[in-house]
Amino acid sequence: MNKYFISGISLLVIAICLLPIVGVIAAAALGTLETLSQLADTVLWRYTWTTLILVVLVASGSMVIGTLTAWLIATSEFAGRRFFEIALVVPLAFPAYVLAYAYTDILDHPGIVQSSLRNLMGWGPRDYWFPEIRSLGGAALMLTLVLYPYVYLLARSSFRMQAATPFYAARSLGSSPTNAFLRVSLPIARPAIAGGSLLVIMETIADFGTVAHFSVQTYATGIYTSWFGMADRGAAAQLAVGLLAFALLVALLEYINRGTARYAMKGCQETFARFSLSRRKALAAQIICAFPVLLGVIIPTVTLITMGLKSEQNIFSSRYLHFIQNSLTLASIAALVTVAAAIMIGTFNRVASNKLSLASLFIGRLGYAVPGGVIAVGLLVPFAGFDNWLDARMEGLFGISTGLLISGSIWLLIGAYMIRFLAAAIGAYDSGLSSVTPNIDAAARVLGRTAWGTVRDIHLPVLRPSILTALLIVFVDTVKELPATLILRPFNYDTLAVQAFRLASDERLEGAAVPSLIIAAIGLVPVILLCFQIRDNGSNKS
């Protein structure tokens, strides 16, 4: 397997990644202007405004929670810090729609909170006001509680890498710890915070399950409604183009931010010794760190377990075992295919190291910014057209009906997963590959190794932990993915995510708790792995 073969496979993967973008633009162009005019007169501006407000609320909340907790964990010493250092990452295991199901059961009109208030105060249904969980604000809260760890992880790493000298200099000049943080440490960490916030924005615009459950009209729900509710593919494609434009803008901002980010490294300077907080300040720090853990982990977990115990759903029934089997099968195949594609693209960039290989890396990372619904529409339109054309030709020439060879199989769904999560696999593989110096590759080539022989005999054994991490990340993300699965899954091929969404759509929230718990349990696997890495690498005692 020479470098030309590696280049060819990498370019094929990149072509597949570009296909949904080209497909959705072509499908939108084929739609009538009448459809676009109707969208503009009815829902387009509402979708735009709602999506923008949701993005602003979630990004702002995530930045505040993630940055503040990261600063406390990185620079302060208080009881429970080691616990919160890990617990603040755990919400990543929960899809936002799972939290939405749990909090709807708690806070909705028949829920335990409002029922208890009515019983305690003797109120009637219209005698009091209570915040509506099924709202734009409720959706923003659910997304914030599961996405702030992106900001927390990057900000915490940035604070730990900072040299302590500028902060201590500001303190010696009379600044309080708060002012020194705001005027010195926070600006230095701004690239990391911005990077985490852009990841949060990408996830927010891609979310479907939460906004659909709360009946919040965003581009993501509009695509699904146009496709299934109104059977209007042109409208769905035109809405997908609008969402795609926003996603590509965010991806470009993330790329620019990552390319220009600079950090104040400790080097040989004084390390950041943690502050010993007074009892009152330590209590405040504990409350600040406990708040997102309580709302994002403890309450949803207890609620889902309680709901699941009251549910009629039987996890050991043949039907549920079928859901689990489908989810694990799709996730396993998608993980293997995606990581193999990431290895090819990473190797292509290593071997060629030219503008084409750099463009391949950028395009491969682009899928993370493209919502699953957009990828699904962009893939289904051309492949469904090809299947129908092939079926008509075979029927006319040979009297044979081929049916839906591609669009009716799981392989189109696997392709959507690969496009969606290739960025995560490339990131994990590329970060490990940076530890293998080019001199090692040069020595292997001098000793007669081909490009693939170098990868097989040197890179893969050395990068086994990074490859395992990439496999786990893609596996879990595939299990949680909802919009692409809903649109592209073969007939009667349901997964845990689809089952949870279906039960929640029927207002059977207790039943939806069962598959939601399984999804969350699977999601804990990479989070636990990440927690061990944080604990091993993040210790810094004063």
CA distance 106 to 81: 29
Q: Are both 431 and 454 inside the same structural domain? A: yes
User: Of 3-12, 181-190, 444-453, which has the strongest mean pLDDT?
Assistant: 3-12
* Count of CA atoms in the C-beta half-sphere (13 A) of 409: 11
124 or 536: which carries more pLDDT confidence?
Answer: 124
Please, are residues 417 and 481 in contact by the beta-carbon 8 Å criterion?
Answer: yes
Tell me: do 366 and 475 sit in the same domain.
yes
Q: Which residue has the higher pLDDT, 381 or 502?
A: 502
Give domain status of residue 386, yes or no. Answer: no
Select from 309, 329, 353 the last residue of a domain: 309
Burial 172-184 (b: 16+ CB within 10 A, else e): eeebeeeebbeeb
| Segment holding 76, helix H or strand E | strand 76-77
User: Is it the case that residue 97 has pLDDT exceeding 60?
Assistant: yes
The distance of Cα 87 from the centroid of its chain, to the nearest Å, equals 19
Q: Which two tokens stand for residue 266?
A: 């400790």
The answer to whether residues 273 and 349 belong to one domain is no
pLDDT score, position 254? 66
* Whole-number pLDDT of residue 305: 92
**pLDDT attached to residue 229:** 67
Residue 2 is classified by DSSP as -
Do 182 and 223 reside in the same domain of the chain? yes
pLDDT at 366: 77
Task: Answer whether residue 24 is part of any domain.
Answer: no
Q: Tell me what pLDDT residue 375 has.
A: 86
Q: d(Cα 11, Cα 183) in Å, to the nearest integer?
A: 46
Side chain identity at residue 444, one-letter code: A
Tens digits of residue pLDDT in 5-63: 778 888 888 888 888 888 888 877 776 667 667 777 777 888 889 999 999 999 999 99
427 closest CA partner among 197, 199, 124, 156: 199
- Which range of 22-26, 313-317, 425-429, 464-468 scores highest in mean pLDDT? It is 22-26
* Enclosing domain of residue 529: 1-19+311-376+410-536
Distances (CA, A) of 165 to 168, 182, 212, 272, 348: 5, 15, 49, 8, 42
* Separation of alpha carbons 482 and 501, rounded Å: 8
What is the number of structural domains in the chain?
2
Per-residue pLDDT, 539: 44
* Per-residue pLDDT, 465: 74
Quick one: 260 and 331 in the same domain? no
Q: Over range 314-319, report the average pLDDT.
A: 79
Co-location of 13 and 44 in the same domain: no
- What is the per-residue pLDDT for 333? 94
Q: Is residue 143 part of a domain?
A: yes
Q: What is the CATH number of the domain that holds 57?
A: 1.10.3720.10
- What secondary structure does DSSP assign to 363-413, as a single string? HHHHGGGS-HHHHHHHHHHHHHHHHHHHHHHHHHHHS-----SSTTSHHHH
Domain edge (last residue) among 291, 309, 327: 309
Give the pLDDT confidence score for residue 61 in this predicted structure.
Answer: 95
Q: Which of 279-283, 307-311, 365-369 has the lowest mean pLDDT?
A: 365-369
- What's the pLDDT score for residue 284? 92
Give residue 455's pLDDT band: very low, low, confident or very high (50, 70, 90).
confident
- Which structure tokens are listed for 180? 């020194």
Q: Does pLDDT of 371 surpass 70?
A: yes
Q: What was the pLDDT predicted at 283?
A: 93
Q: What is the mean pLDDT of residues 231-246?
A: 77
pLDDT, residue 139, reads 94
Whether residue 197 sits in one domain with residue 174: yes
Tell me what the mean pLDDT of segment 110-135 comes to. 84
- Average pLDDT score over residue span 245-270: 62
Task: Report CA torsion sign: 158, 338, 416, 213.
Answer: negative
Whole-number pLDDT of residue 291: 94
- Residue of 484, 490, 338, 337 whose CA lies nearest to 405: 490
Q: Comparing 113-117, 240-244, 503-507, 514-518, which segment has the lowest mean pLDDT?
A: 240-244
Report percent pLDDT > 90 for the chain: 18
Check residue 395 and give its pLDDT: 81
Same domain flag for 330 and 233: no
Whether 520 shows a pLDDT value over 80: the answer reads yes
Report if residue 47 sits inside a domain: yes
Q: How confident is the model at residue 308 (pLDDT cuts 50, 70, 90)?
A: confident
Residues 319-341 have a mean pLDDT of 91
Q: Which pLDDT belongs to residue 536?
A: 44
Q: Across all residues in the chain, what is the average pLDDT?
A: 81
Same domain, 446 and 341: yes
Evaluate whether residue 256 is within a structural domain.
yes
* pLDDT of 101: 92
**For position 367, what pLDDT does the model report?**
77
Taking a C-beta distance cutoff of 8 angstroms, is the pair 343, 13 a contact?
no
Ranking 197-201, 206-210, 429-433 by mean pLDDT, the lowest is: 429-433
Res 542: pLDDT: 43
The domain boundary residue, chosen from 285, 309, 333 = 309
CA 428-434-435 angle, 5° bins: 105
Please state the rounded mean pLDDT for residues 476-500.
87
Over residues 469-488, mean pLDDT: 86
Q: Which residue has the higher pLDDT, 188 or 132?
A: 132
Q: Does residue 87 share a domain with residue 43?
A: yes
Residues 343 and 296 in one domain: no
pLDDT tens string 522-541: 888 778 777 776 664 444 44
Residue 388 lies in a domain: no
Judge whether 245 lies within some domain. Answer: yes
Q: For position 268, what pLDDT does the model report?
A: 47
Q: Which of 89-93, 246-250, 538-542 has the highest mean pLDDT?
A: 89-93
14 and 114: one domain?
no
